[in-house]
Amino acid sequence: MVPSLVKLDWIRRVADSGVDIVQVGSFVRGDKVPQMADTDDLFRTLAGESHRALLSALVLNDKGLERALAVGVPLICLGVSASETHSRKNTGMGTDDAQRRIIALALEARQAGRRVQVSVQSAFGCGFEGAIAEDRVRAMVEAYLAAGLTAISLADTAGHAFPAQMQRLVAQVLTLEPAAEVTAHIHDTYGLGMANVYAAMEAGATAIETSFGGLGGCPFTKVAAGNVATEDLVHGLQRAGQRTDINLATLVSVAQDVATHFGRELPGRVQRAGGIKA
């Protein structure tokens, strides 16, 4: 459990570091996931403040959307797993039914004036099912596009992606809709995380979802592992002269505070090694 005040401190610092989007939490049932029980309160507090980053939250169902709209979440993220098994474990519904509901919620959020991102989770493989047919991912992307939803995240929830596959699936979205904004959500379960990040960027993804220190991992996957570390990616980009507007020192210090808070070593490299100074 992370106390709300600690969360707020981390969120505020990251939200002013220069990164574009910060995901604050999920609207899930507080009795089932007590770690997220304060998401409404966090947004109520943050609504009175001004930060550089767009704040987002994950919404899973109609109750969650209601709460997100009530507390003024600017960017609402919704998703469906491409894996039948993973979808049923997460939502009790198969992929098709789940996507119909998610699309309806996304349109409702947009109607309410919110920015919306929709995702295909487990798009690159699933710990339960193994390989996921690329045609299935394509059909789900087409369903989103047909509904006018063009901010699409391809999520490698289980960390199964490899670079050529990442490149192919990201490019496919942009072939279907050149104006789509493609996000890649990348976990580092098997060591390919950062290679997948660069493959996604090369193929035209304009946002990469990472986590500070490399924290995280979906508890409903088979092998939980965190995302690529935000500060490692920013450090890498800045080595190439990109995104020098982001304050790397802030990201590193937050990741170090997170490691201290949890009393364990996080996978992120830069927060351990320190960045390259020259």
Residues noted as catalytic: 218
Identify the residue among 72, 74, 94, 236 touching a copy of itself (CB under 8 A). 236
Gap between the Cα atoms of 255 and 14, Å rounded: 10
List, in sequence order, the alpha helices (H) in 71-221: 84-91, 95-111, 134-146, 163-176, 193-203
Of the ranges 23-31, 39-47, 87-95, 226-234, which one interacts with a copy of itself (CB under 8 A)?
226-234
Q: Residue 264 in 3-state DSSP?
A: coil
Q: Are 141 and 182 in contact (CB under 8 A)?
A: no
Kind plus residue range of the DSSP H or E element containing 230:
helix 230-239
Gap between the Cα atoms of 261 and 6, Å rounded: 9
121 lines the binding site for a copy of itself (CB under 8 A): no
Of the ranges 26-34, 47-55, 97-105, 122-130, which one interacts with a copy of itself (CB under 8 A)?
122-130
In the bound state with a copy of itself, the residue whose beta carbon lies nearer, of 116 and 155, is 155
Distance of CA 19 to the CA centre of its chain: 13
220 lines the binding site for a copy of itself (CB under 8 A): no
Contacts with a copy of itself by CB under 8 A: the residue count is: 39
**Tokens 């379960």 found at:** 189
Of the ranges 41-49, 147-155, 158-166, 251-259, which one interacts with a copy of itself (CB under 8 A)?
158-166
69-98 mask for a copy of itself (x: CB under 8 A)? ------------------------------
Gap between the Cα atoms of 11 and 222, Å rounded: 28
204 lines the binding site for a copy of itself (CB under 8 A): no
Alpha-carbon distance values, 177 to 78, 157, 164, 181, 204 (Å): 19, 23, 20, 9, 12
Q: How far is the CB of 151 from a copy of itself (least distance, A)?
A: 25
Residues that bind a copy of itself (CB under 8 A): 125, 129-131, 160, 162-165, 188-195, 197-199, 223, 225, 228-229, 232-233, 235-236, 239-240, 268-270, 273-278
